[in-house]
């Protein structure tokens, strides 16, 4: 029993760090650049599937699969996002929503490569070379390192020129362009960074869960949850995604175990609604506003 609870809580800790990293990557686009993408699960799924296919089908090291996944994901991110930059607000979000839907259809139907709805089972071969570990503690260390890497990148962007350019584009793109900021270039850079970090998260997920099927990585629910964590924690703040994940991921685990799908979603929605009404800046933003100067 103690071993079960130990693994259970370790799994929640691992997923808390992973969700924080994924939401932090999304926060770079949405929180700083105003690019509210609903296509993050496509980047996540591509990173996971490229690694899994390379390893199980071709015997390629997952580390090489990770590199390939990053290049493929960033390339597709540029190809898909660039035309969408002409759109604003909800129209941009709806356009990006098509990407994960299309990728799930492709993954379900390209059975020769992805094994379709049957999914891909990754063989358990522990070792650094395969990024597969016998202990969840090793995964927790890796997930924490990924979360802190995303946080460090966000802090760097928050204080740097790129962050200032992104905020200028977010607040008034026409004015930013008139000041000499290359708005499309800035948006492409942050999209590529976000996509690459999300692909790394997909790689981690594949080597942690050791099984993939299209709904588990391309579902729109993943994109929505990634976004909600930043919104609840504090959009456009480096700590927001971490705080959002620290609050919601353990809560989600408890609700899933004790209440199942329906009540869980209602309670989850109530927390989101309460945050929007009582703390529209998110937890971190609200605490900063209350802090005495």
DSSP string, 104-124: HHHHHH-HHHH-GGG-EEPP-
Distance (Å, whole) CA 213 – CA 36: 26
The predicted pLDDT at position 286 comes to: 80
The pTM is what? 0.92
pLDDT tier at 1 (50, 70, 90 boundaries)? very low
Tokens representing residue 249 in the block? 């991921």
Q: Tell me how many degrees the CA angle 138-9-274 measures, rounded to the nearest 5.
A: 120
Kindly calculate the radius of gyration of the chain based on its CA atoms and give it in whole angstroms.
19
pLDDT tier at 72 (50, 70, 90 boundaries)? very high
Which of 19-23, 79-83, 247-251, 283-287 has the least mean pLDDT?
283-287
pLDDT tier at 271 (50, 70, 90 boundaries)? confident
Distance (Å, whole) CA 231 – CA 248: 11
The predicted pLDDT at position 263 comes to: 63
The candidate with the shortest Cα–Cα distance to 56, out of 106, 113, 107, 108, is 113
The predicted pLDDT at position 90 comes to: 84
Does position 47 have pLDDT exceeding 90, yes or no?
yes
The predicted pLDDT at position 268 comes to: 67
Name the residue with higher pLDDT: 284 or 289: 284
Does position 2 have pLDDT exceeding 90, yes or no?
no
Does position 143 have pLDDT exceeding 80, yes or no?
yes
Mean per-residue pLDDT of the chain: 90
Which of 98-107, 147-156, 275-284 has the least mean pLDDT?
275-284
Distance (Å, whole) CA 159 – CA 130: 36
Does position 292 have pLDDT exceeding 70, yes or no?
no
Q: Mean pLDDT over residues 133-137, rounded?
A: 93
Does position 270 have pLDDT exceeding 80, yes or no?
no
Please count the other Cβ atoms lying within 10 Å of the Cβ belonging to residue 26: 28
**DSSP states along 10-77:** HHHHHHHHHHHHHHHHHHIIIIIH----S-HHHHHHHHHHHHHHHHHHH---HHHHHHHHHHHHHHHH
The predicted pLDDT at position 265 comes to: 65
């Amino acid at each position: 029993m103690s071993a079960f609870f130990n693994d259970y809580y370790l799994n929640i800790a691992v997923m808390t760090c992973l969700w924080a990293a994924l939401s932090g990557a999304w926060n770079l686009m949405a929180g700083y650049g105003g690019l509210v993408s609903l296509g993050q699960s496509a980047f996540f799924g591509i990173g996971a599937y490229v690694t899994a296919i390379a390893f199980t089908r071709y015997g390629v090291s997952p580390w090489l699969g990770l590199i390939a996944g990053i290049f493929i994901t960033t390339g597709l991110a540029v190809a898909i996002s660039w035309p969408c930059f002409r759109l604003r607000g909800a129209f941009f979000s709806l356009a990006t929503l098509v990407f994960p839907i299309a990728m799930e259809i492709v993954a379900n139907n390209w059975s020769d490569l992805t094994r379709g709805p049957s999914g891909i089972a990754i063989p358990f071969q522990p070792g650094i070379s395969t990024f597969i570990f016998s202990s969840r503690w090793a995964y927790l260390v890796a997930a924490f390192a990924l979360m802190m890497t995303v946080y460090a990148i966000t802090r760097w962007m928050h204080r740097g020129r790129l962050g200032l350019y992104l905020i200028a584009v977010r607040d008034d793109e026409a004015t930013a362009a008139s000041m000499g900021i290359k708005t499309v270039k800035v948006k492409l850079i942050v999209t590529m960074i976000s996509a690459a970090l999300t692909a790394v998260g997909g790689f981690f997920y594949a080597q942690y869960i050791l099984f993939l099927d299209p709904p588990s990585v391309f579902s729109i629910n993943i994109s929505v949850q990634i976004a909600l964590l930043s919104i609840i924690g504090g959009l456009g703040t480096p700590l927001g995604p971490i705080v959002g994940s620290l609050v919601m991921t353990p809560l989600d685990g408890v609700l899933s175990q004790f209440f199942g799908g329906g009540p869980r979603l209602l309670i989850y929605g109530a927390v989101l609604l309460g945050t929007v009404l009582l703390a529209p800046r998110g937890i971190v933003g609200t605490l900063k506003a209350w802090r005495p100067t």
